[in-house]
Structure formats: structure tokens, C-alpha cells
Amino acid sequence: MTQTIGIIGAGHLIRHMMPAMVKTGYRFIVSERGRATSEHLAGHYGAEIYTDNQAIVNEADIVILAVRPFDAVSVCEGLTFQPRQTVLSLCAGIGSGELGPAIEPGRLVMAMPVVAAQFGESPTLLYPDDEPCRHLLGPCGPVLALSSEADFGPASTIACYYGWVQELIGEMTGWVSDHGVDPDTARLLVAQMTRAAATTVRERPNDSIRALVDELATPRSFTLKGLEVLREADAFTPWKKAAAALFEKG
Ligand SMILES: NC(=O)c1ccc[n+]([C@@H]2O[C@H](COP(=O)([O-])OP(=O)(O)OC[C@H]3O[C@@H](n4cnc5c(N)ncnc54)[C@H](OP(=O)(O)O)[C@@H]3O)[C@@H](O)[C@H]2O)c1
């Protein structure tokens, strides 16, 4: 059944989700603010631009909220929602305790995608599970429904890990190209090797990750030699510290 999807907050994230979400064939109406993006969405994906957020809410079956986190509650408090409506919040760090009252009697669903949605590769957290939202987000990548809101905070930090891994890819690409390898080749090599490692972990769920690493890091192997350098430098602890810093702040 065709649904009308209202979008409040046409910015960086929505620009990257729209190429995927448009595959649902739904109708999209989008807020005018962030004019460069709303015009892009209208021009490329046939989204209709509305100047009035309440008019978006009035027509939408699902309202996607994608303003900056610090604007989320105040934007919703100025709007009137209906019981039939789902508000799908993409706003990081804003839980139901804060946002729920502002969207009543609408129903709050939270999701956490990343911009790889553009390529259908965003693992997208969802809470609570909701079939229409799953259908809308499905083209963005695998939807991972959580069973409790308490899980949403720690799981959401992995949306930032997405950026941290890109930084690591940049560092290793630089190291390879500094040793004479063509920079484009180095970039594709490191990016694809990162993807290869991830694919193996995803496709072999019955093997522990420890077993997968041990399969490579055999005695006297180069993989083990490098891992020993990383472990000696305690290279993995800072990654967990970074996640903890976000989680504790959020
Ligand atoms: N970007 C990501 O990779 C990513 C990933 C996961 C989650 N998120 C979450 O997604 C949300 C959006 O992030 P973003 O990076 O896309 O931010 P963004 O680029 O700053 O986009 C936010 C948009 O909201 C618009 N806006 C602000 N107030 C509005 C209002 N009252 N009515 C209508 N539109 C309004 C802004 O317009 P103006 O420019 O005119 O102010 C801007 O176009 C955030 O809550 C963030 O936590 C982002």
C-alpha cells in the first residue's frame, strides 16, 4: 500500500538515505529548510517540498524526524500529531523519555542508520520493531531490531565506529601509498580488505571471531607478528574507550 512519508530535517543523513528509501515507491514530502538538500531531493527523487512542518505531519503516515538532536524536542513540541502516526526519529541520543511526550499521541520509533544507506549497506538499528518502518528502511541495508530501548545507546555508538574505521582505512592507505603503491590502488586495496574481513565475520556466524583470527594468526605467521605489535601497544583498548566515552555522554 502506498504510504506518505513526511521528512522534517532535510540534511546530510536524509540526502544519503533517499536514494534507497525511494525504492519503496512511497510518496515523500520534505521540509523546505536545508534548501540545497530539499531541492536536490525534489529534483532527483520527486520529493514534494512543503514550507510548513504541520502540513507535512497532517499528510504523513510516517514522519521521519532528522533534525539535529538538540532541536528534536522543540521542533516536535510545536506540532500536533495524530494517534495513527508513527514518528521515526533518527536523532542520536534522544530517547523516548525526552521525545515521547513531545509527539503524543503519535507513536515513537527510533532508528539509527549511517550514510552507507546510499549504497544499501547501512546496518540500521530499530526500536521498537515496526513492520512499516522496516519496509521503509529495508532498502538502506539490513534492519536490526532491538528488544529493549536500553540496548539502543550502546548499539548506536557503532554508527560512530563507521567513521572511525574510515579514519583507520585512511591511515593504512597512506602507509601503503607512502611505500610507493599508486594511491588509488592503495585506497581500493585497503577498503576492499576491510570489507573482506567484515564479510567473513558476517558469513561465518557459527565460528567465533576468535577462531577466525586464530585461523590466520598461526605460529610464525605474518598476521600473528603484526597482531603482537598491536597487542603490545594495547591498540584495541582506545577503541572501546571511545565507545564508552560516547555512551556515557549520551
Ligand atoms: N549525518 C549522519 O551520518 C547521521 C547518522 C545517524 C544519525 N544522524 C542523526 O540525524 C539527524 C540529522 O543529522 P544530519 O547530519 O543530517 O544534520 P544536518 O545536515 O544538520 O540536517 C538537519 C536538517 O534539519 C533542518 N532543520 C532544523 N530545524 C528545522 C525545522 N524546525 N524544520 C525543518 N527542518 C529543520 C536543518 O535546516 P537548516 O540547515 O536550515 O538549519 C538541516 O537541513 C541528527 O539528529 C543526527 O543525530 C545523523
Binding site membership of 66 for ligand 1 (Cβ less than 6 Å): yes
Which residue has the least CA distance to atom 19 on ligand 1? 11
Here the cell at position 56 is 507535512
Q: Say what the pLDDT of residue 250 is.
A: 58
CA distances from 23 to 4, 70, 222 (A): 14, 30, 45
pLDDT reported for residue 54: 98
Could you tell me if the CB of 125 is within 6 A of ligand 1? no
Ligand 1 centroid–CA 25 distance in Å is 24
The residue contributing the CA closest to ligand 1 atom 4 is 13
The structural domains of the chain, ordered by start, are 4-153 (3.40.50.720), 158-249 (1.10.3730.10)
Binding site membership of 10 for ligand 1 (Cβ less than 6 Å): yes
pLDDT of residue 95: 94
Q: For ligand 1, atom 5, which residue shows the shortest CA distance?
A: 114
Q: Please name the helix (run of DSSP H) or strand (run of DSSP E) that holds residue 40, with its range, or none.
A: helix 35-45
Is residue 115 within 6 Å of ligand 1 at its C-beta?
A: yes
pTM over 0.85: yes
Pocket lining: 68 vs ligand 1, CB cutoff 6 Å: yes
Kindly state the cell numbers that stand for 169: 582505512
Tell me if 18 CB under 6 Å of ligand 1. no
The CA distance from 81 to 16, in Å, is 26
Distance in Å, CA 70 to ligand 1 centroid = 10
10 Å Cβ neighbour count for 226? Answer: 11
Give pLDDT, residue 169. Answer: 98
The answer to whether the CB of 28 falls within 8 A of the CB of 21 is yes
| Cα–ligand 1 centroid distance for 92 (angstroms) | 10
Measured on CA atoms in the order 188, 189, 194, 198, is the torsion positive or negative? positive
Q: Quote the pLDDT of residue 49.
A: 98
Q: Give the per-residue pLDDT at 40.
A: 97
Q: Is the CB of 121 under 6 A from ligand 1?
A: no
Q: Report in angstroms the alpha-carbon separations of 213 from 144, 169, 172, 173, 194.
A: 25, 19, 19, 22, 14
Q: Return the pLDDT at 249.
A: 65
pLDDT tens per residue, the chain (250 residues)?
A: 789 999 999 999 999 999 999 999 999 999 999 899 999 999 999 999 999 999 999 999 999 999 999 999 999 999 999 999 999 999 999 999 999 999 999 999 999 999 999 999 999 999 999 999 999 999 999 999 999 999 999 999 999 999 999 999 999 999 999 999 999 999 999 999 999 999 999 999 999 999 999 999 999 999 999 999 999 999 999 999 999 999 886 5
Q: What share of the chain is helix, strand, coil (3-state, %, to 5)?
A: 60, 15, 30
- Between the CA of 93 and the centroid of ligand 1 the distance, in Å, is 14
